[in-house]
Amino acid sequence: MEATTEKNIATFTHLSALTQYFIPFGNYIFPIILWTSKKDKSEFVDYSGKQILNFQLSVLLYTIALALIAIPILIITIFNNVSMNAMLHEESFVINHLNFENNIALITLGLTTVFVFICLKIAEFFLIIYASIKTSNGEKYKYPITIPFIK
């Protein structure tokens, strides 16, 4: 395989993770397809494939951790503020005693996790683009905050 071909395949392996915005789980499916088809023929493609898959798995793990924090907080906050005497009047749901003051710490923690999630997804997008540029120049790129699942 030519060096240019290796660089192109490795670059497309990184860029294929962006298919998550169009195809569910595309950020795993397409990098795996590209990586497994050429990993035995090129060390550079093998390295790039492992990097993008480790990064995507790490982002998934961080997303699950953030969801495990934010979702229970949302549920606790809602159920603490909805009285059981909420009544149905003329086809409208009436909630009595809606009070967020008692749960301000939980709400702050929940909003912080949502903010961190948004920052994580923005960073993911730009890191994929940056890795693709580095890879197209023939440089090996190692993503930050990545757990090495595949070695």
Domain boundaries, the chain: 3-136
Indicate whether 9 pLDDT > 80.
yes
87 pLDDT more than 50: no
Question: DSSP label at 21?
Answer: G
Q: pLDDT tens for residues 106-137?
A: 788 888 999 999 999 999 999 999 999 999 99
pLDDT given for residue 44 in this prediction: 93
- Model pLDDT, residue 85: 52
How many Å apart are CA 116 and CA 148, to the nearest integer? Answer: 22
pLDDT of residue 98: 57
Question: Are 14 and 135 within 8 A, CB to CB?
Answer: yes
Give yes or no for residue 88 having a pLDDT over 50: no
Q: What is the pLDDT of residues 41-72, one digit of tens each?
A: 989 999 999 999 999 999 999 999 999 988 88
pLDDT number for residue 95: 54
Write down how long the chain is.
151
How far is residue 20's CA from residue 42's CA, in Å, rounded to a whole number? 25
